[in-house]
Amino acid sequence: METTAGKIAASEAPLFYETGEGHEAHPASPTLLGFWIYLMSDALLFASIFATFGVLGTSYAGGPTPRDIFDLPLVALNTAILLVSSVTYGFSMLAMERGEIRTVQAWLAVTALLGLSFVGVELYEFSHLIAEGATPQRSGFLSAFFTLVGTHGAHVTFGIIWIGVMLVQVQKRGLIAENRRRLLCLSMFWHFLDVVWIGVFTYVYLLGMLR
């Protein structure tokens, strides 16, 4: 009797957690949402490094200032490279939705090459700065600069390694559900890095030149 009463009560009880959208209210994919939340935690890591740069960014200790060492045309080139790579990754995702394995791989390879040239230009910039004596240990400004820009560059490097892994995965197994899920996570990662770069080129380079 008690169980019947319990059942009736349960069925008649108002369901406050139902939002009227039925099951659509649930996250569509736990992996994609979980990866998104990881990215948001990564954004907080970047926020603390941005804050560090904001605090230390004017501590030159008699060393070089942004105007002395930054090369804006080079930064503009790097920005363009990263922006184009975001779109080429997008084209890869569109090809994935159509199920064209070769096109997916081609656009992934183009994205990886663009990512490599981005890291290459950044390493060239770093080597130039270090050759001129603008090393991370020279001043608080340079420590914060190398930490912030280097952390972003490290993320891009790991993204390139991940693209390489996915090229092998897609070659071996095709566009199975697991690979599509992984490619979508990598897509979020890559676009997210582009968003962080907007903060870097604005906050570090453009506003640095205006100081």
Judged by the rule CB under 8 A, the positions of this chain that interact with another protein are: 21, 24-29, 32-33, 36-37, 40, 43-44, 47-48, 50-52, 54-55, 72-73, 76, 79-80, 83-84, 86-87, 90-91, 93-94, 97, 177-178, 180-181, 184, 187-188, 191-192, 194-195, 198-199, 201-203, 206-207, 209-211
Q: What is the DSSP string of 92-119?
A: HHHHHHHT-HHHHHHHHHHHHHHHHHHH
| Least gap, CB of 105 to another protein (angstroms) | 18
Spell 99-108 as b/e; 16+ CB within 10 A means b.
eeeeebbebb
| Least gap, CB of 210 to another protein (angstroms) | 5
| Least gap, CB of 60 to another protein (angstroms) | 14
| Least gap, CB of 71 to another protein (angstroms) | 11
Nearer of residues 55 and 161 to another protein, judged by Cβ: 55
Contact 145, 56 (CB under 8 A): no
Nearer of residues 83 and 154 to another protein, judged by Cβ: 83
C-alpha span between 27 and 65 (Å, rounded): 48
Contact 121, 78 (CB under 8 A): yes
